[in-house]
Amino acid sequence: MQHASSPSAFNTIFMTVWIAMAIGGLAFSTLSRNAKLKRKVSRIVMIAAPLLFCLFAWHQGAQASEFAIFLPFLALITFLNLRNTRFCDACGATQHSRGFSRPRHCSQCGASLP
């Protein structure tokens, strides 16, 4: 199913939601010190963002063959983000690993990460 390429209300809503998620996520991650809440919210956002991206791709007319190419990469990125993002219980800092291993200590306070 091919959809029109001209801007639509859907595109406007998508971009608005995407930008709001980015700004809200950055603000929440920076300002909140509640590690337990950050864990819950981050899981929801890290799963919602790729689903929203897939919805947008489908709406733009992505074919099954295109989904077959990018879905494995999207799944891997989502898995690594969920696995490698940790939150310090001591200071609430968000810790991201750049590689394939999880961070073990907080870069802010040095505490061991759960």
- With 80 as the cut, is the pLDDT of residue 7 above it? no
pLDDT at position 27: 92
**Tens digit of each residue's pLDDT (9 = 90 or more) over 23-51:** 998 999 889 999 999 999 999 999 999 99
Q: Which long-range contacts (CB under 8 A, 24 or more apart) does 78-84 make?
A: 78/46, 78/47, 78/50, 81/46, 82/43, 82/46, 82/47
For the segment 3-20, the average pLDDT, to the nearest whole number, is 80
pLDDT at position 96: 86
For the segment 83-109, the average pLDDT, to the nearest whole number, is 88
- With 90 as the cut, is the pLDDT of residue 60 above it? no
- With 90 as the cut, is the pLDDT of residue 100 above it? no
Task: Count the neighbouring beta carbons within 10 Å of the beta carbon of residue 102.
Answer: 12
Q: Which long-range contacts (CB under 8 A, 24 or more apart) does 55-60 make?
A: 55/14, 56/14, 59/3, 59/10, 59/14, 60/3, 60/5
Q: Which SS3 state, helix, strand or coil, does residue 4 take?
A: coil
